[in-house]
Amino acid sequence: MFKVLIAVDGSESASRAIAAVGKMAKSMNGLEAVLLCVRTGAVLDPLFAMDYAETTVRQLDADQEREQTAALDNATAHAKGSGLRIGATVRAYGAIPSEILRVAKEHAVDQIAMGTHGRGALGNLLLGSVAQKVIHQSELPVLLVR
């Protein structure tokens, strides 16, 4: 069984990653997908959290949790429609690159697949790149889909 972790966030690039793994599954017998959506949460950024009342931070976290659920539900439907067998859907909370790598290890996947927003060098310099961090820290092959 070949297992691929697909990081999803509700974006079009994540949808393209699902489609790419779906194409792989058509030529591979026994491919299984693990869908992962990581939510960062307002309380993980102490500078952000200090600027708002506790009730506001809790409301923001609840909103993110609903968005995470919707992203996973949509990704699951898309993955099944692409012919993928879903081994697990995982909700995680924390730093996105670290959580992708942790869940990949926890589920003993063979490859990580993720979309990239394609911001380019300047965007990565200013914002950082989840994909770049995963590539540099992963011992597994990483499929980036743009």
Q: What is the per-residue pLDDT for 128? A: 56
At 70-108, the pLDDT tens digits run: 999 999 999 999 999 999 999 999 999 999 999 999 999
Amino acid symbol at 125: L
Q: In this prediction, what percent of the chain has a pLDDT beyond 70?
A: 84
> For residue 137, is pLDDT > 60?
yes
As a whole number, the mean pLDDT across the chain is 88
pLDDT tens for 24-65 read 999 998 899 999 999 986 555 555 555 667 777 788 888 999
Residue pLDDT, tens place only, 101-121: 999 999 999 999 999 876 555
Which pLDDT belongs to residue 126?
44
Domains (ranges, CATH) in the chain? 8-145 (3.40.50.620)
Task: Name all contacts of 76-81 with Cβ < 8 Å and 24+ positions apart.
Answer: 76/35, 78/15, 78/18, 78/19, 79/6, 79/18, 79/21, 79/22, 79/33, 79/35
For 128, list phi and psi in degrees, rounded to 5.
80, 165
